[in-house]
Chains A and B, each alone.
Chain A
Amino acid sequence: SQQGEEDPQALSIQEGENATMNCSYKTSINNLQWYRQNSGRGLVHLILIRSNEREKHSGRLRVTLDTSKKSSSLLITASRAADTASYFCATAYTGTASKLTFGTGTRLQVTL
């Protein structure tokens, strides 16, 4: 499959700290999206960044995109216990925009 790589695979932090997750992908993209998945449930869309954008913010989320390095990062500031979940990056590749190609995910644990 064409899954991208995410790191770290797992991250454990305390409430109030910032969490940073990284994603790398393989070929040219139309956009890159981040999703959150709580244990055993469906995915929730967090943020979309287009290939011509470098940074995007949404509430406590900050996403960066470096197309020269084929990488993206998701920063969650002032984390809360409710942020505990798996986070996936997903890319819409040029020419195959109908489907998303997901990474393997980062499992974030936020403790009190």
Chain B
Amino acid sequence: DTGVSQNPRHKITKRGQNVTFRCDPISEHNRLYWYRQTLGQGPEFLTYFQNEAQLEKSRLLSDRFSAERPKGSFSTLEIQRTEQGDSAMYLCASSLVLGAEQYFGPGTRLTVT
């Protein structure tokens, strides 16, 4: 399968714990995006990478959130000191061209208890 993959698919954690999600984009795509989606809402942009450079961050991305894309391949999104409000689906997408269609992974559903 050459699509975007995300791991884990589901994560249940206790409030205050740290969690890390991984995204593997389509191999030839140098642009990678993270979004967050809560129930009944559309996805909201979190951050954008071109190769290994993080070029844009949303104000939604508080200092508890950090994202990396070492070597411009896979990306990780870490949430420190999780809060119940962090419960959501975290979606990763990649694209070949800026402003073009984005290809989404299946998402990681985070539940903070």
Contacts and interface: CB of A to CB of B under 8 A. Distances in A.
Given A98-B31, A98-B33, A98-B56, 13 more contacts: A31-B99, A33-B102, A42-B104, A44-B104, A45-B102, A48-B101, A90-B42, A98-B55, A99-B45, A99-B48, A100-B33, A102-B42, A104-B42
Interface stretch (B12-20, B62-70, B79-87, B105-113): B105-113
Contact of B99 (A1, A30, A42, A43): A30
B107 A1 contact: no
B100 A42 contact: no
A100 to B, nearest CB: 6
B43 interface: yes
A110 interface: no
A73 interface: no
Contact of B91 (A31, A43, A45, A98): A43
Interface in B1-55: 4, 31, 33, 35, 40-45, 48, 50, 55
Given A48-B100, A98-B56, A100-B102, A43 B48 contact: no
A40 B100 contact: no
A104 B40 CA distance: 7
